[in-house]
Structure 1
Amino acid sequence: MNTKIKVQLSFMMFLEFFIWGGWFVTLGTFLGDNLKATGGEIAQAFSTQSWGAIIAPFIIGLIADRYFNAERILGVLHLLGAGLMYFMYGSESFGMFYPYVLGYMILYMPTLALVNSISFNQMKNPAKEFSFVRVFGTIGWIASGLLISYIFLWDSPESRADGMLKNTFLMVAIASALLGLFSFTLPKTPPRVSKDEKVTISGLLGLDALKLLKDKNFLIFFISSVLICIPLAFYYQNANPFLSEIGVSNPTGKMTIGQISEVLFMLLLPYFFKKFGFKKTILVGMLAWTIRYMLFAYGNAGEFTFMLLIGIALHGICYDFFFVSGQIYTDTKAGEKYKSAAQGLITLATYGVGMLVGFWIAGKITDTYLLDDGGHTWQTIWMYPASFAFLVFIIFALTFKNEKIEYKQ
């Protein structure tokens, strides 16, 4: 790639994840503080991510891959998303807010695949070139958190009391409009398949890869992937409200430690793969979820703040060692014939079904331990995902037979 295209793609990735991180991290806190939403209602809002993940393959497979250039669809989706973000900014009740956030996530989730398609189309060697471009997405997520906490101070107790956290949606609306307009300047990425080519529902959802479930090891991995998304949902839904409620300063900014660790542990992943193999690497990722939630359960905003920060920093191990390792394992097991279908199936099962169930459970448990003063019994709440993650760890350790997987960079 020439320098101009590399800069364009990097800026595209920066904005794509700046947008996601700029409102999704603080969503639970905003809904509880500004709209007085219950745990169940907050779970409904977060579940829109899962509905978006389930619907996204249809938008990509039926429209983007067949009729229009990817960069144009990206532009239209983000311009529409900017409008919905503005309506979310002006919402005064959960009933008003929910249709907008559902519509927004149905529009946003397909853009995650589109930015990848646009990037890959410009690369001669994606295995080597993509990581440089993709890291700017993580930088964008970090930048949004630092802006919210340290520049605008929207998540401080005083600003939250004044309802200032809603400004995150206005910030993201502006960023989304910017990316929408910028998308039309991106390199052309024409449709990948002929509009006359036959399309099937099973192909769009990756169901053609269900044949892989006949392999016992892959079946165990598949089930474990769905189950581990249940404790993952607790982190997305509850971490920021938890930190804000117990009085941790600049909670959104501190949560960016998780994205910084994600970059660092991504660099360490090849070493772990080579040294310890797939099974041990993924078990470390599972165990990290249990340790993280135990740290959350017993940490506090005083002398044990370091426990909370360590718990946040474990995000790199939690995510990279399980999900990225899982993507590599899936790629290896699927082979050329089912490679795309298998990745689509895993995404549908985890971000779709697994997290949909996880958000619902997290909402129910959070409501169960709501106190009369509006606070929560957080220690008890965090013990649920900690215990569940450890149960998945034990099941996987006992049932998955070790096999050699080659890590290809």
Structure 2
Amino acid sequence: MSEPTQSRPAGLTPVLRTKLSALMFLEFFVWGAWFVTLGTYLAGELGASGSQISLAFLTQSLGAIIAPLVVGLVADRFFPAQKVFGVLHLVAAVMMFLAGRADAFGPFFVAALVYMVLFMPTLALANSISFNQLRDPEKQFPAIRVFGTLGWIVAGLIIGWLGWEQGGRLELTFVMAAAGSALLGVLAFFMPDTPPRGRGRQGSVGQLLGLDALGLLKSRSYLVFFVSSVLICIPLAFYYNFTNLYLNEIGVRGAAAYQSLGQMSEALFLLAMPFLLSRLGFKKTLLIGMLAWGLRYVLFGFGDTGSLFWMILVGLVLHGICYDFFFVAGQIYTDKFAPAHVHSSAQGLISMATYGVGLLIGSLISGPVVDAFATADGHRWTTVWLVPAVLAVLVAVFFLALFREDAGIRETAPRGPGVGSRTS
């Protein structure tokens, strides 16, 4: 069965490459500007418990679950993706500023929840805007996406350089994120047009909401990939929610700056992704990513700030493999698998699986686990980290046993200038 031919640009001009790179840079700068140090901020400034910290991170998951509805209903059906993206970021900037001014956990949670409902759809929209301009996403997208990683790195280095963690000034991270979000909202209106591919298509209410992307789950291989994406995010929640608190608690100065080592590694592996995917294929690449999560938690569990500090550093550097080999490779796999008219919905679907359902479950589990191993002067971190290590290995075994390579992937036909098609 053939999909309708879709028009793509003849190539990436320097101006277009710069615009897409800036979009990715700011998208992840805004996220990293406040999210990395959130646990430390809540514990130190608002006196939050482990369960409350997890509840705050859970706002991300709720936003991601809503994201496919926003993307499917608006970007795939009615309005250009770049305009939806811009409006969401402009409103999100206001909510981010309000979150930083909250003086108690309750008001903070409300502001953060509204912010995440607005922000999470923009992750899928950023991918859709980029993929719409690329003739060969598998080879071209990593070079664009790497600027998102650089944005996250720069945010962490700024926090470390200005000493906001040690100086008790982490409320300024919310101001920085709000300013970045406002700038990104304006920039979006100067991005290339990404029209709704499903405009004029007739369908059910579910299709109008973008839920036709759920049809991808009829494939056993994509279903296994989807379920694995949900499950691997349960141990991932431990990293997002508590790594910065862990590093600060054991006495690592400039923890956010050290955490940027992970994004530096991520940037290098992103650039190598086209080569790695062509040599390893999707199954081996995704499997390596899952196993790397288990290894990193073991290293965290047995490392310290003394002679074994190298273990913590290696665990942080492994982020490049952990994230790129599963999440970025998964986004590319989804783009190759999905029909053209549900590209945005499909990206929203996989965001829902990972940042939504998976991290939601992970947040509900990680907070009580951390609280269970609290001590008078901190936490028994070795025991805490071994829990997600075991979970990651179990998910990898599940994926290895059931996923079939190349099942249902659409081969990209040779394209003339500006023209491409996907066939099944």
Q: Same fold (TM over 0.5)?
A: yes
- 1:319 positional shift: 1.8
Higher relative contact order (CA 8 A, sep 6+): 2
Is residue 2:217 matched to residue 1:210?
A: yes
**Structure-2 change in CA distance of 1:387 and 1:99 (3 Å):** same
**Tell me, what secondary structure is at the counterpart of 1:247?**
coil
CA deviation profile, 1:259-289 (whole Å, cap 9, x unmatched): 1111222344455445555444333222211
Report sequence identity in percent: 50
- Comparing 363-372 with 174-183, greater Cα deviation is found at 174-183
Distance 2:340 2:82 in 1: 27
Structure 1 residue aligned with 2:369: 365
Structure 2 residue aligned with 1:377: 380
**Structure-2 change in CA distance of 1:379 and 1:335 (3 Å):** same
- 1:132 positional shift: 3.2
**Tell me, what secondary structure is at the counterpart of 1:300?**
coil
**Structure-2 change in CA distance of 1:109 and 1:329 (3 Å):** closer
Contact 1:208 1:338 in 2 (8 A): no
Is residue 2:70 matched to residue 1:59?
A: yes
Is residue 2:300 matched to residue 1:293?
A: no
Q: Which amino acid aligns with 2:402?
A: F
**Structure-2 change in CA distance of 1:99 and 1:282 (3 Å):** same
**Structure-2 change in CA distance of 1:224 and 1:126 (3 Å):** closer
Structure 1 residue aligned with 2:172: 167
**Structure-2 change in CA distance of 1:307 and 1:149 (3 Å):** same
Q: 1:19 aligns with which of 27, 30, 40?
A: 30
**Tell me, what secondary structure is at the counterpart of 2:52?**
helix
Is residue 2:164 matched to residue 1:154?
A: yes
Contact 2:299 2:311 in 1 (8 A): yes
**Tell me, what secondary structure is at the counterpart of 2:102?**
coil
**Tell me, what secondary structure is at the counterpart of 2:143?**
helix
How large is the RMSD of aligned CA atoms in angstroms?
2.8
* Correspondence list, 1:17-56, <5 A: 17-56=28-67
Structure 1 residue aligned with 2:392: 389
**Structure-2 change in CA distance of 1:195 and 1:329 (3 Å):** closer
Is residue 2:274 matched to residue 1:264?
A: no
Distance 2:100 2:337 in 1: 45
Distance 1:185 1:339 in 2: 22
Structure 1 residue aligned with 2:9: none
The structure where helix makes up a greater share of residues is: 1
Contact 2:124 2:351 in 1 (8 A): no
Structure 1 alignment gaps of length 5 or more: none
Structure 1 residue aligned with 2:313: 309
- 1:155 positional shift: 1.6
**Structure-2 change in CA distance of 1:210 and 1:108 (3 Å):** same
- 1:118 positional shift: 3.2
Distance 1:243 1:82 in 2: 29
Contact 2:76 2:341 in 1 (8 A): no
Contact 1:229 1:354 in 2 (8 A): yes
TM (norm. structure 2) is 0.85
Distance 2:345 2:93 in 1: 31
* Correspondence list, 1:322-333, <5 A: 322-330=326-334
**Tell me, what secondary structure is at the counterpart of 1:256?**
helix
Distance 1:272 1:10 in 2: 22
TM (norm. structure 1) is 0.87
Q: Which amino acid aligns with 1:247?
A: G
Contact 1:19 1:172 in 2 (8 A): yes
Contact 2:150 2:267 in 1 (8 A): no
Distance 2:328 2:410 in 1: 11
Structure 2 alignment gaps of length 5 or more: 1-11, 413-424
- Comparing 220-229 with 9-18, greater Cα deviation is found at 220-229
**Tell me, what secondary structure is at the counterpart of 1:249?**
coil
